[in-house]
Every structure is written in C-alpha cells, then in structure tokens.
Amino acid sequence: MSTENSAITPKRESLFSKNNRKLLKDPLGDSNPITIQVLGICSALAITVQLQQAVIMSLSVLFVMIGGNVIVSLLRNLIPDRIRIIVQLVVIAALVIIVDEVLKAYQPDISEKLSVFVGLIITNCIIMGRLEAFALANKPGPSVLDAIGNGMGYAWVLLAVSIVREIFGSGAISLPGMGQVKFLPQDWFISSGGFYENNNLMILPPMALVVVGVIIWIQRSRNEALIED
C-alpha cells in the first residue's frame, strides 16, 4: 500500500503521464491486490473452477470498482469523515445489487453458479480498500485509473487461476455465451481406454490456494524487493 496520494499534483497532467501509468501498472504487478496485498481471496478461491465464472466475476468487480471509485471520489468533499464507511457501503451495495440484477437477467446460468459470491462483492476488501485509500483523497480521473488498475490486477489473477484449474480439472475451457468446450479427445481418457484422467483435486477450493500460491512464488522470486522477512 505505498502508492497512495502520489497522484495529487496541482498541474493538469496528460492521460499517460508517469503518475497515471503508475496507477494503472502497479496493481497489475508490484502491488497486486491478490498476490501482494492478499485481499479478495475468498472470491478468488470460490469461483475459479471455470473460466466463464471468473470472466463474469472479474467484469462485475471491475464495474463496481470503477463505479464506486468515481462516485466516492466525486462526493469526497461532501462526505463527513465520521460516516464515510457507511456512505461507501451504500454506494458499493447499490452497485452490487445492480450487477446482480443484470446478471440474473442476461446470464442466468452463471449467475446461479456465482450464487452468493456476487453479493459478497460488497464485502470484497479490495473495493472498500481502494475507496478508503484512494478515492477519498483523489480526483475522479486518477480514481478511475486506480480502479481499472486494481480491477485488472484482480482479474488477471482470477483468469490465470481459473484457466489452470479448468484445463487440468475438467479438460475444458469455457467462456460466457459459449458454454464449456471440452478440447481433449474423448478416447484419451482412461474411462474410454486412454491414458489420461482429469485431476479432480483441481476442482476443489484448496487447489485455488495452491495455484495462487504458485503465482505469488513466481512473482516474488522474480522481484526480490517484494519478499518480506
């Protein structure tokens, strides 16, 4: 959490100034909400069995994050300090309900699989954390970038974990609107005389933790500055 408040500059800056690029890039790597700050783990473990769920979940979180950051950033001078958490909660909760309703209408199957985890976006620490740490102290412009950065930081970990889990766990890849595509030939499987078997452990939640752990491991071994004692 070291990037806060660095974006406040008196001068108007271009969209791709150094600060703005930092806002977008840092959460993808060196201050990634999942792998470095270890926030939002609950949903990352629960919904990464299939890629299509992860895609929808990522989009939902991205939407709530951008919406929340912009609204709170716009209201930042109006919100009394003592009730700011309540105001943030109202904003997030309203956005999450909208997402939930839209999913129920347009993606009923995936909405069903995500079940309570869409509602649990309300308590996703990443979103609350960004509102509290960034949007309350910054203009809407940088806040949007911060939201996109963190949302994408969350999304790529989710997508990576779900791709690994779905390929090894179900031998398939799924995308919203496409359904699940099993790409391994059927006669590879032991059940039809082949040599291959899906790894059922991959479907179970603990494996998500292991995969996230591996990502954290790779990331820290490449950048030793991230290693804490």
Partner 1 sequence: MVVIVGSALAYTSLSLKPLQKKNAADKQMVDILGALGVSTTRVEAKADFPTYVKERLSLDFEGNVLHVSTGDVDPVDSSDPFNLDVKKDYRSKRPPSELSFPLYVCEKEGEKIYVIPVVGSGLWGPIWGFVALESDMKTIYGAKFDHKGETPGLGAEIKENFFSDKFKGKEIADSSPYFTIFKGGSDTHINSVDGITGGTITSVGVGEMIHRTISIYQGYFESVTNSSEQ
Which parts of this chain interact with partner 1 (CB under 8 A)? 46, 87, 90-91, 94, 97-98, 101-102, 104-106, 108-109, 112, 115-116, 119, 205
Residue 198 Rama label (left phi>0; alpha psi -120 to 50; beta): beta
Please report how close the Cβ of residue 15 comes to partner 1 at its closest, in angstroms: 29
Please report how close the Cβ of residue 143 comes to partner 1 at its closest, in angstroms: 18
Question: Toward partner 1, which CB reaches closer, 191 or 221?
Answer: 191
Question: Toward partner 1, which CB reaches closer, 36 or 103?
Answer: 103
Using DSSP, state whether 223 is helix, strand or coil: coil
Helix ranges restricted to H, the chain: 18-25, 41-46, 51-75, 84-106, 108-114, 116-119, 125-133, 140-170, 205-222
Question: Toward partner 1, which CB reaches closer, 112 or 187?
Answer: 112
Please report how close the Cβ of residue 201 comes to partner 1 at its closest, in angstroms: 15
Question: Toward partner 1, which CB reaches closer, 194 or 205?
Answer: 205
Which residues lie closer than 8 Å to 13 by C-beta, 6 or more apart? 19, 20
The C-alpha torsion from 102 through 120 and 124 to 51, rounded to 10°, is -60
Please report how close the Cβ of residue 8 comes to partner 1 at its closest, in angstroms: 26
